[in-house]
Every structure is written in structure tokens, then in C-alpha cells.
Structure 1
Amino acid sequence: MADLEPHLVEPMYDLAVRPWTNMYPPEVPGSYVARVRNGVEMFQIGLDERPDGPAMHFFDQTMTHRQAGDYAHSVAAGLADLGVKSGDRVGLYLQNDPQFVISLHAIWLLGAIGVMHNPMLKARELKYQLDDAGVTVLICLEGLYETALEATGGTLTSHLIVTSEFTFAGENPAPILGKKMALDLGEALSLERIFADYSGRQVEPYSADPSEVALLCFTSGTTGPAKAAMITHQNVAYGEIYLQEGRVGRDDIVMAGAPMFHVTGITGHIAAARLNAAPMVMFHRFDPGEYLRWLEHWRGTFSILALTAYIAIINHPDLPTRDISSLTKVFTGGAPVSPAMIARFEEVTGK
């Protein structure tokens, strides 16, 4: 990707428009420069620079950038045959599994828009989001299939794609995945079948302008109906801030504990890792015990989580027996962090 011209993540504003930038410390710029224009170029960094390096550690399994890219092109080819094209909305009703990252890459390869759905949503809530966003294809986990089927009411039956939580989990899947299900998918499609049927297929990548919408992320809806916030490819490239301010580098290992349907998971996990061709450690969904287990196993170095997640981690009974010395970059957000919390975290973690 060395031949890419840098692009401003945000335009430079005159100080008369943004006078507060005068108060920034000298080391804090008024805007950030990204190496990529869009999400496809972001994924291409790993394919160009570290094709056989690890892209994702899922429990004790590893997938390379090349393998993930091949899966993404297969899914993109399958989606294209379903009629998905630039500007169409494809919903992701998934947990933090490799299929999320693969499907998102596939969506962007076609110039389509990923619609992020919280896997905790019930059928009524999911239906509202599907209708509001104009979703034409929905990719969901087997464990969420019944809810997805109820939410779609049969209207997306031929464009409902189902995938198993166990596909990339190896021979000894973690208990957090639950039990394997025997589903009658009816007219729904299997993502695993798409992997097989379109194996080896490559699509011509869509080159999105930085201003084009990449994602629709719904707000929580606590004060009214949830609203779909439009996230552009330029916004996704804002993950560059983790490289410049968080000092996340090529040798880091990103602990992907925040939900990927949330903007923190998109920028703080996927973008931060892909912009560095660095691996992510994934374990389906946040659980403090699983976080500590795989942090120790893969020697994770970078973490960004909600404050409540860190509270759960430092109070977990496994913490004293886990070696977390590799973790050197810890970020949080969404709530003030009290001095007492900082002191407690440093006391129990040594960080």
C-alpha cells in the first residue's frame, strides 16, 4: 500500500471556525491523515504486506489475511449473485466471530453498506431496524436464526443467510458457543455453502469515495426510536487515531472484546488491526474469563473496552492466576474514569 496517497480523515478547518484547536497541545493535530480512502483499501494492507500472517485468532484457531480475503471474495461473489450492488444494505446480525469480519469485507468489496444489528435484539426490535434501513440481505448466526426469521416475517427468506458459530472454532469449541444446533433452514441460505460454492472466485473491488456511506450503526434508542447513524468510509479510516495517538503498531495484538456491531469494535478493533496488518483475538462475545484466558494465550497487547468491562475483569476470580504482562495499551471510553478506579486497576494488574 506504499503507493497510496494520504487522505485527510477530516478536512482542515480554519481556526476561526474551530478556535478550540488553539488549545490543543502541540503534539495533537487538528486533523488526522489516513493511508486509505475506504474499507477495501484498509483490508488490502494485510493482503499486500502480510498475506500469510495472522489476521484473526478465534479461540485457539488462526486465520491468515490471505484466507480471510479469499473467504470475503467468495461471499462477495455469492452476494452479487443475489443481486447485491453498490449502495444496497446488507445486515449483520452476528457476534464477534470471523464471519463478521469476512462479511463486512465482502459487503465493501461490492460497494454495499453494512447495517450493524445488536445480537441482543428481539424480533420486534430487529424488524424495526431492518425496515428502517432497507435491508435486502441479512446474515445471521444459527443461534439467532429463529429471531431473524420472525423479524423478517418471510419477506427475506431467500435472502436470509445463516452461519454456524462453530465453523471456525476448531475441534474443541469453547463452552461460550453453546450447543450445536440442527436447523431446518427452509429457503434460507448457508454461508458455509456460499464459501464452498464460490471458492476461488474473485470480484472486482468497488473503489468507494471516502464520503460514501460504509455502515449504518443504530443508536441505543434509550430516549426514543433507535436511529441509524451514517458512518462513511472516511469515518472508518478514523481508526488511524489508534495508530497515531494510541501508538498501536504492526507488532501489536488487538484484543477484540468490544462488540463489533458497535463503532468501538469497528474502529478500535477491525480498523486498528487492519490498518497495521495486525491480528485480532476474538472469542465470540465479551466474557471476562474468556478475555483473560485468550489474552494470556495469544499475548494480547492492545485493549479498548467499556469501563464496566474492565471492572468485570479486575474482579474476576481468574485474574490472579493469569499472566497479562503482555497488555501494554489500555483504553476506555463512554464514561468518566475515577481516580479510585485507575488506582484499583493498577493495583490488581500492575498496569
Structure 2
Amino acid sequence: MMKTTLLIAALASTLSVTANAATYAYISSPGDGLISQYRLDQNNGALTLIEQVQAGDQVNPMALTPDGKVLFAALRVKPFQVVGYRIDPTSGHLTKFTQAPLAESMAYLSTDRKGRYLLAASYGADTLSVQKIGEDHLPSADILRYPTGLHAHSIRTEPSNRFAYAGNLGTDKVLQYRLDAKTGELSPIGSGSVSVPEKTGPRHLAFSPDGKFLYVVGEMSGTVTAFSIDETSGALTQIAEANGIPQRLKLAHGEVRDARNNDLKDDPTPRIWAADLRMSPDGKLLLMSERTSSSVSAFAVAPASGGLKFLDNYPVQEQQPRNIAFSPDGHWLLVTGEKSAKVGTYAVSKDGALKRVGEAASGKGALWIEILQTPDA
């Protein structure tokens, strides 16, 4: 009888926590300088626009602190700055509290897993940067800078927070570093990088939940490359690769793009232009966005070996989808389109199949998505 009572009490407690949890999505739109706050109903995938705040011209990449208390957003116009917003723990409302310099125009922003450092990658300036985040969540004006090869496109630390990796699109390399927890300094692991085939274009990164594997999307190849992470040194070893572009899409190999030819206006050939890569919370599914075909590709992940298998490719209504993001429970996927007036929600099946179930108005050129689960009022 006692066991039954305890079980019922535990179940009631779990249901209460679930019922009181609110899921918010924050989406930046550089075309109008807005950060839009949405509420996601995890029961049915419904998406509701709550409010929009004026962040600044060309607001682009964002990063949530691990404690869920602050959202950082980078402005990609001079003077390059990061804006900090405190997040109300019940309503999710954003309140600006700080603004600090950035090293360059940043295409990617993240924090380390402890929330002590702000990491950034500059595509145009071929640079990575690290700056300390104070106990009051204030980013330091002292910035560590690390030159890279052409077009640095991402930087993240793995779950143990000892190592950092960066996609270097123009050199077809994935950069590998050890992170000094006390200073934030990055030091190369081995030669400092591993190479992928020419014109792969390493872009965004995703890690397995246990931190044993790293996955990298190739912007120009539409492939996902899997690497094992040496537990002691952090060195990467390629273990698998899967192509996410089926022949029916009729896409030619991609080309390097920059501010001068981002839309390849003088090239009428439809080309691969992969963008984001996201791992499901259970570590069994990877999803990749592809902009030219306005679609999302799904890959099965073998958690034990890190292996990959292409499942299928699914069209989405959002035109030129750049960022995608799983809900905390993995049941829903948010999709933004740089040329779409709506942000969509899709139900995600176990095999990666997508079914659109909700939408809400987006800002102009919506792209970056950060999702937060916080207790409701």
C-alpha cells in the first residue's frame, strides 16, 4: 500500500511539474531588428506570438545562458555589439540590461556549458572570439581573438566543457581546441584541425547527448560528417558520413558564398545550400535544413557507435529555411524561413517525418531560434 501511495505521489508531482512548465521560443529577424518571443504549447505544437522587442539593426545570432536567465544577441553592424536581455522566470519577457563590444560581425554565438564565456565566430573576418561573462551576466570588454582560415562559421563546447570545436567553411576544416576553464583561452588540439573533402563547407555543429560524438553539416555538400571525440585529448576522428540530398531535389554541388554573392544571382543553377543541424533530445535523430529546396533532411543516429543513416527529406512551407530547433521534449520542430512571413511548428515522428501543425507571424528575414523551458506563473 505504501509503495502504491508513493508511486501515485511521484506521478502527481511529475504531472504538476509538466503542467506548470512553459516553453518559449526567441527568434531574431535581422531585416527589422526584432527579437520575437513565442509560446509553444507542447501538448499540440501550437505557436503563439507574445511580443516583439526592438533589438537593433541586423540582430542575428543569439545564445541562451545555461541557467536560462539571460539571452544574448549579436548585432552585425558597426560598432559590432552584443546585447543582453534578462528573462523573466515566469513570463519569459525580455528586459535589456547590457550592451558590450564584439570583436567583429559575428555569424554565430554561443556560451560555454558553464555560462562563464561568450563564444563567437565571424564569417567575414575569419575569426573566433572568447570573452568572459561576469557573475552578473555582464560580458567583458576584453576579448580573446583567434584567427582562422576563410569563413569561420560556428563554435561550441562539448558537454564536458573541456573542448571547443568550430566549423571553418572556406578551408574545409573542423577546428579543435582545449578550453581553459580559468581563463577562457583556446589552445589547439594536435595540429588544430581535421579536414573534410574539398567543397564540403563545414558549417553548424551538433553533439551527441553523452558528448562522445560530434556531427558537422556541410553547407555545400549537404552531407553530415560524424566524428568521435577522444575522451582524454578531445581529438576528432571521422567515423561516418551521410548524404542528406536525395537525387529528386535535382541540386548541384554548392559554392562558397559571401556578402558579394550570397544569393548567387548570376548563377541560375539550383545548388545545395545546407544550413542548420540539430540533434533530438534523445540523441537518436539529426535534422538538417536545406535552403534552396526549402526542406529538412532526417538522419537516424546510432547512439552507441555514433553511426548515421539518411532517412528522408521533407519539404517545409518556410521559404529558405535557415534555423531549426527541437522542443525540449523532442516532439516538435520550429522552422524559420529567411523569405517567409511565418514561422512554423512541425510534429516530428520517430523516423524524422514532419507534419506542419502550427504557425505564427515572424519578423522580417527570421532566422535564429533559441528555445527555453521555464516554470510558468
Normalised by the length of structure 1, the TM-score is 0.30
Structure with greater strand percent = 2
Normalised by the length of structure 2, the TM-score is 0.28
Structure with greater contact order relative to length (CA < 8 Å, sep ≥ 6): 1
Structure with greater helix percent = 1
